[in-house]
Amino acid sequence: MKQETRQEEIIRVAAKLFKEKGYSAVTMRDLATAMNIKAASLYNHINSKQDILESIIISIAEKFTVGMTSVLASDATCIEKLKEIIALHVEISSQNIYGMAALNHDWMHLEAQLNHYKKLRSDYENDFKTILIEGVNSGEIIDIKPDVMMFSILTTLRSLYLWIPKKEDVNLKELTNNLNEILIKGVVK
Amino acid sequence: MKQETRQEEIIRVAAKLFKEKGYSAVTMRDLATAMNIKAASLYNHINSKQDILESIIISIAEKFTVGMTSVLASDATCIEKLKEIIALHVEISSQNIYGMAALNHDWMHLEAQLNHYKKLRSDYENDFKTILIEGVNSGEIIDIKPDVMMFSILTTLRSLYLWIPKKEDVNLKELTNNLNEILIKGVVK
DNA sequence: GTCTATATGGCGATAGAC
DNA sequence: GTCTATCGCCATATAGAC
């Protein structure tokens, strides 16, 4: 395991603060206090507050892009691909609880990287929708507007970070199985 | 139709700005510019920025509480109650698109009303979970952890505000029917 | 690598003229 | 009801000593 650099530590602590109050409400003084140093000292390790936000959001967004590329490359059925996407979100969310909050809530505060982020997100949603449309065409899934299905499933998956940390006894494998059931087969018996 | 007061207009415009950038990133000068007046003039109609946030969040949270009370009072089946809750969220979200953003993203910036809000939310989630547990016990719905089912359904419903405004041709009745299908019966054919 | 001191500017909110 | 002017404070970021 590589030793965490001071820069990485700052970004990790910043993500935690961003989850609690949001990017705009967290000051460099708050971050410095959490690091037990003075605000000016932060600037020996990072260039700006904005750079911290970029590091957090873009790195996670690119993980999702890589994951989706892998899902698309498989020749699995639509339902199997959906299960792979669910597993992808559980995996990334559980390993980036704090970063997922910034990705979901603070992406609009990106500056130089805003368009890059928006393209990654838009491409991801289009790929997701394409999988659903193929499932409708092949008769695997119900013929309801793909937009509504994608919205319903994806917002649940995007909110996982809100929920995973609350249950310390949560078993990620069991959570993934439960989500497979609920999101694909519904709750009715 | 009652004429909108200047105070109500300020709160409505503020909610729209809060949706775009979040409470902390919106300044009283931004709000004044959107109202075509100077920042100081706002204070003839509102007491503080914090009061605006309280007005937006608490009024909507109380609408949900009233709606849930009505659902609990009916003697419908669990599945019917779930459908009533889905309809409640579509109704409130479509009529408070901007306010729902503040409710979801900026509740942590409440000060005096923070505990009041947290109690309303917690009670709502407990009522929701109770309905699901009754459904499991009666055999109406699958025997999966009620926490996971509630999380999955409720996060989709809480995110409706993100999605409703994007589709200008969206028919709310059709959206409600589609969500009933997807959230209760899943997407598999 | 951290500190103190500081530059520069924006913040919420108030006072008082019109 | 809106304005100009301003208060007191806090923001991000930099300079330079240690």
Residue with the two structure tokens 């959107």? B34
User: Tokens representing B77?
Assistant: 């089946």
Residue A45 confidence (pLDDT): 98
Element holding B150 (H helix, E strand): helix B146-158
Question: Quick check: A183 and B152 CB within 8 A?
Answer: yes
A171 vs B80 pLDDT, higher one: B80
B115 touches strand D (CB under 7 A): no
Mean pLDDT of the B62-69 span: 98
DSSP letter (8 states) at residue A5: P
Averaged pLDDT of chain B: 96
Contact A68, A121 (CB under 8 A): no
Residue A169 confidence (pLDDT): 57
pLDDT at B165 over 90: no
State how far the Cα of B98 lies from the Cα of B11, in Å rounded to an integer. Answer: 10
Q: Which domains does chain B have, with CATH numbers?
A: 48-185 (1.10.357.10)
Residue A145 confidence (pLDDT): 95
Residue A189 confidence (pLDDT): 81
| Closest listed residue to residue B88, CA positions, set B110, B104, B72, B112 | B72
Question: Which tens digits make up the pLDDT trace of B15-27?
Answer: 999 999 999 999 9
pLDDT at A152 over 70: yes
> How many angstroms is C1' of C5 away from CA of B27?
29
| Closest listed residue to residue B55, CA positions, set B12, B21, B17 | B12
Question: Quick check: B188 and A142 CB within 8 A?
Answer: yes
Over pLDDT 90: what percentage of chain B?
93
Helices (H), chain A: 6-21, 28-35, 39-42, 49-73, 78-95, 97-105, 114-137, 146-158, 160-163, 172-180
Mean pLDDT of the B101-124 span: 98
pLDDT at B167 over 90: no
pLDDT band at A103 (very low <50, low <70, confident <90, very high): very high
Residue with the two structure tokens 């993500």? A15
